[in-house]
A and B are shown apart, each in its own frame.
Chain A
Amino acid sequence: MDYTIDTSDNCATVKIQGVLTFDDHEKFKGVVQSISTEQAEEIVINLAETKMIDSAGIGMLLLANDKAMKAGKTVKLAGVSGHVAKVVELSKIDQLIPVI
């Protein structure tokens, strides 16, 4: 995976490209770190360019959400489609992390 972060106003958008799987643990730590250090209170994780996600990838999203909540911030998922949409629908994680 690769990711970019754009901040405007009070919203930080994290775009995740490629696949989000077990091998991306180290890289995703950077995302979690940024969520803590960013000024923005709203974090949007954009998965439009995320081709696949496995259980470890879901775990990383849950971790990011948990870190944000503890810092008084909110996380939302955007651009959910294809394989990612199937996984979200199956696992109902939209009950924990809102999908916009």
Chain B
Amino acid sequence: MQAARQNLEELPGEDIGHVPSDDARILVVDDLKSSRMMIGAVLAAAGFTNLDYAGDGIEALEKIREIKPDLLVLDIVMPRMDGFDVCRKVRQELGHDFPILVQSGITNADERVRVFDEGATDLVSKPINAAELISRVRVHVEHRRLLADLRQYQRRMEDELRTVEAMQVSLMKSDEDVAAIAEPRGARIASHYQPSNQLGGDLWQIFPIDDDCFGLLMVDLSGHGVTAAINAFRLHMLIESLTDDRGNPAQWLATLAERLYQLLPVEHFATGFYGVYDRRNRSMVYASGAAPTALVLRNDGRNEELDPSGLLLGVSDDVSYDARTVMFEPGDRLFLYSDALTEDFKNVENSLSETDLANIARQALLDDGLNGFPDRVKAQVFATPEDEMRDDITLILMEAR
């Protein structure tokens, strides 16, 4: 990289006597030994010393597989296999990034176009002009390095995103931990969390409150990407630290909202649902700050929508929420979900209503109840894996016993 930068910065003819060396591996292919030697000498004089040679197309392909050069300087008219065939085979095997610089005596315009059609990156005419050959070799070597750097950078970023994704998933409680809290307190829960491929800011949590009650929380931070993910980690720490008033949803959500106001920049906020379930009378007291409408799927076939209205979390330090109550019968289910399931701003006509989603959820429950429920809902809602990866997805289904 450094050597190549030096080359570019150096003006021709300025630095006399010293030529910076470049370790790019170049394979020179020509059936005439005198041509090979001449090209090799020109390149060596320009600092390219990592040179290999081949006398025809077949030998060239063998060498390419063996030594994996950075650049090919290729003749067209050769015995056994010509340069056109080499171009095609190289493109098949190595893709479009690998630079092929064709050097040829062909002057016919159609033939010159054919050189590019067969996959050459660039063309220099014979007889070789040394300065032109060197300039073009440098351009392509540099280009290849930049591309390789970019690819490497992209791979590293993707690896890091996947690592953060795994960390986000690990913030959520395992199915076993969820069951250990919910089941002694009269409820079964199926849950699913999946960060988007660009990271996002969904978070859900379940807290034991006493022997009869547990709290169920779902929060969605606005925005996507690294910022939302970092805020999700801060939110997680905040949630863990707010241990007072967990049995009082309106008060607890207000405290969370006020603390988020101090934490988030002015244009960022969150939506949230916090409900406390009590097994003694199968009641849930809940508070909502503009969370997606929670659905109650009654055992007798009716659907109910829980009032989701309430100030966004993190937009004010003076906020209060209404405490609302919903009663359950055995077998009734509460369905919480992130807006990724209903909203589709790219294709507005694909957005789902609460009724649509309730019907999808009911259908998914018919097959095997809570087992595999999230996967069946996702399969119904998202047409393609790409749609599924656009935003964080959280699904929580609670069944009262």
Contacts and interface: CB of A to CB of B under 8 A. Distances in A.
Interface of A: 19, 21-22, 52, 54-56, 58-60, 62-63, 66, 89-93, 95-96
Contact of B315 (A52, A60, A62, A89): A62
Contacts of B309: 89-92
Between A58, A63, A91, A95, the greatest number of chain B beta carbons within 10 A of the residue's beta carbon is seen for A91
Interface of B: 222-224, 266-269, 271, 290, 308-312, 315-316, 339, 343, 345, 348
A60 B222 CA distance: 12
B268 A59 contact: yes
18 contacts: A21-B345, A52-B348, A54-B343, A54-B345, A55-B271, A55-B339, A58-B269, A58-B312, A63-B266, A89-B309, A90-B290, A90-B309, A91-B271, A92-B290, A92-B310, A95-B311, A96-B311, A96-B316
B345 A62 contact: no
Contact of B267 (A19, A52, A63, A91): A63
A91 B345 contact: no
B223 A91 contact: no
A81 B224 CA distance: 27
Contacts of B348: 52
Contacts of A55: 222-223, 269, 271, 339
Contacts of B343: 54
Most chain B beta-carbon neighbours within 10 Å: one of A22, A52, A92, A93: A92
B311 A93 contact: yes
Most buried by B among A21, A52, A62, A96: A62
A89 B315 CA distance: 15
Nearest to A55: B222
B267 A60 contact: yes
A60 B290 CA distance: 17
Which of A21, A60, A63, A90 has most chain B Cβ within 10 Å?
A: A90
A55 B314 CA distance: 13
Contacts of A54: 343, 345
Nearest to B316: A96
A62 B266 CA distance: 7
- B269, B310, B315 — most chain A CB neighbours (10 Å): B315
Nearest to A23: B345
Contacts of B271: 55, 91
B291 to A, nearest CB: 9
Contacts of B290: 90-92
